[in-house]
Amino acid sequence: MIVDQAINEYEKFIFSPGPPERIIKIAGEDIANIVDKCTNKIIYYTEQLKGISC
């Protein structure tokens, strides 16, 4: 999973995984806690990664 750490600076994160009536709202400050609990390999996006294909 690639995560841009700038997302932590936003007031909230809104994600719609499918139908518009199913919306997930997460406080920006809670994103880091959620990412830390993921078992996937985490790559933090930086300007150095821009243009590199995975």
Amino acid at 11: E
- Residue 54 pLDDT > 60: no
pLDDT of residue 44: 86
pLDDT of residue 45: 82
What residue ranges do the domains of the chain occupy? 2-49
Given a contact cutoff of 8 angstroms between Cβ atoms, the answer to whether 33 and 13 are in contact is no
pLDDT of residue 51: 64
pLDDT tens-digit series, residues 9-46:
889 988 888 887 889 999 988 988 988 898 999 988 87
Contacts of 1 (CB under 8 A, 6+ apart): 35, 38, 40, 41, 42, 43
pLDDT of residue 48: 62
- Residue 47 pLDDT > 80: no
